[in-house]
Amino acid sequence: MPSFQYEKPKLRRLSAFVCLTIAIFPLLLAACSGTKVEVAATPKQERALIRFVASEYSTETKPFLEHLVKEFELDNPLIDVELQVANWDILDGIYTTMISKNQPPDLLNTNVYAHFAKDHLLNDFNEILSPELKGKLYPNLMKMDQIGGVQHAIPYVATVRNLYYNKDLFDKAGISSPPATWSVLREDARKIQRTSSAHGYGMDLTDNEIQANLSYIFFGSGGGWIKDGKWTINSPQNVEGLTFLKELFDQGLTDPEPTVTTRDEKHRILGDGKLGMMISGNYFTSVVPREFPGLKWGVGPIPVKDGMPPMFFGVHDVLVSFKTDHTNREALSKFLDFLYDDTNYEQMIMREGFLPVTSPVGEKLAASDKVMKSNLEALSHAKFYPIQEPAWQAIMDTARKMGDAVLYDHLSPKAALDQLQQFAETRSAR
């Protein structure tokens, strides 16, 4: 037994020597004969870079995306994701600076894109998206983000707008249900201010939301921004709607500073019992009760002009992909699959209080939540901003300057909309 144990290692070493000799013998012969031997090199794998600029929706946004990026990079060690998360107030400046330095983001989370598409700056997502992800995204939103058959953008998150109100203030004023028409809205605002120290209606004509509040009264009066490819900003219906908002303000039925206090600030004013009602996105239901757990709140439709049918208004933010000197479609496709992975995407939606834009997550959440089901149904019928128009960004920027001029009598509603109409036509003609 001892001799057997001693001999076995020798046999293994001998076998290794024989194998090595057999392996290198052809190389020795080739060296002696001067013959070149081709040795197959392992192909070098190249690194990919994705610059991702995302908007900050809440304090949850940055830590969640940072965690997601770390997970993705662990699974994909050859793909580097440079993440920037920025507040909407400075987001435009960040990506504009990047573009000016010829280093645009590979992915940008934004709410406008048509002017970039017009300048041929964007990749076509038809050449990036995996079939699986493409099949998940809601077709009506995908179609909205196409221009001439090119998928310049893809939907990222969505909201629908509703009227939210403080139930305690409504009860105190003897109001049993939310107003559905302008005339009832006016009367309810008056009741709230007669029976409490709160303001009746929160009207947001700040730089952040004036385009939204204009949309509510444009569509609510039977008007709109554009029809059959022509701008209709100064239509009689739209003028009537803006006149209604000014009358509410002139009669003291709104908050005192519509051009100063933003939507998020009005959320807190309502939660604090000093505002009766306001129009906001469905994220109200997760954001405001979290900050004001004792708040009793209710929800109703966006009020419309008397005699008009109910109107739904939706907003969806998108992702766009700029053409860069390092665009890697395969890496982008992998990252987007990870970003929209059902589990990851559902977590993001639940944290931020948005509506999903993918059918698997939408169907799952709607099955257990009647409000989510109702909101997703409204989203499928909603009116939207004319984001497919290249002039929309500039028109929206110009509209942001209208609030003070209209409310404080520098311009009549008609004159203000006439000016905006002229600007839209001139801009679109370029």
DSSP state, residue 119: T
Domain that holds residue 145: 48-159+315-381
Q: Is 132 exposed, middle or buried (0-12, 13-18, 19+ CB in 10 A)?
A: exposed
Query: Rg of the chain over CA atoms, in angstroms?
Result: 30
Nearest to residue 351, comparing CAs of 61, 68, 69, 84? 61
Q: Rounded to whole angstroms, how far apart are CA atoms 186 and 189?
A: 5
Question: Is the predicted pLDDT of residue 280 greater than 70, yes or no?
Answer: yes
Stretch 22-51: mean pLDDT: 56
Residue 290 belongs to a domain: yes
Stretch 287-298: mean pLDDT: 94
Q: Which helix (H) or strand (E) holds 415?
A: helix 413-428
Stretch 404-408: mean pLDDT: 95
Nearest to residue 263, comparing CAs of 159, 180, 380? 159
Q: CB-side exposure of 333: number of CA atoms within 13 Å?
A: 14
Are 240 and 353 part of one and the same domain? Answer: no
Question: Is the predicted pLDDT of residue 25 greater than 60, yes or no?
Answer: no
Question: Is the predicted pLDDT of residue 73 greater than 90, yes or no?
Answer: yes
Q: Convert the pLDDT of each residue in 113-158 to its tens digit.
A: 999 999 999 999 999 999 999 999 999 999 999 998 899 999 999 9
What is the value of pTM for the model shown? 0.85
Are 129 and 167 part of one and the same domain? Answer: no
Residue 11 belongs to a domain: no
Cβ atoms of 193 and 252 closer than 8 Å: yes
Residue 24 belongs to a domain: no
pLDDT score for 29? 40
Q: What angle do CA 298, 208, 87 make, to 5 degrees?
A: 100
Are 404 and 255 part of one and the same domain? Answer: yes
Q: What is the CATH number of the domain that holds 374?
A: 3.40.190.10
pLDDT score for 23? 42
**What is the tally of structural domains in the chain?**
2
Residue 13 belongs to a domain: no
Query: Which three-class secondary structure state does DSSP give residue 87?
Result: strand
Are 362 and 401 part of one and the same domain? Answer: no
Residue 1 belongs to a domain: no
pLDDT score for 156? 98
Are 80 and 229 part of one and the same domain? Answer: no
Residue 334 belongs to a domain: yes
- Does 82 or 430 have the greater pLDDT score? 82
pLDDT score for 197? 96
Which residues are CB-neighbours of 199 under 8 A, at least 6 positions away? 192, 193, 253, 254, 255, 256, 269, 274, 275, 276
pLDDT score for 46? 85
Are 103 and 203 part of one and the same domain? Answer: no
Q: Which helix (H) or strand (E) holds 345?
A: helix 342-352
Q: Rounded to whole angstroms, how far apart are CA atoms 87 and 183?
A: 37
Question: Is the predicted pLDDT of residue 62 greater than 90, yes or no?
Answer: yes
Are 153 and 300 part of one and the same domain? Answer: no
Are 288 and 148 part of one and the same domain? Answer: no
Q: What angle do CA 367, 371, 374 make, to 5 degrees?
A: 85
Are 203 and 178 part of one and the same domain? Answer: yes
Are 172 and 271 part of one and the same domain? Answer: yes
Q: Convert the pLDDT of each residue in 184-222 to its tens digit.
A: 999 999 999 999 999 999 999 998 899 999 999 999 999
Nearest to residue 250, comparing CAs of 308, 186, 195? 186
Are 174 and 68 part of one and the same domain? Answer: no
379 confidence band (pLDDT: 50, 70, 90):
very high
Q: Rounded to whole angstroms, how far apart are CA atoms 210 and 402?
A: 8
Cβ atoms of 273 and 195 closer than 8 Å: no
Residue 171 belongs to a domain: yes
DSSP state, residue 175: -
Residue 184 belongs to a domain: yes
Are 298 and 404 part of one and the same domain? Answer: yes
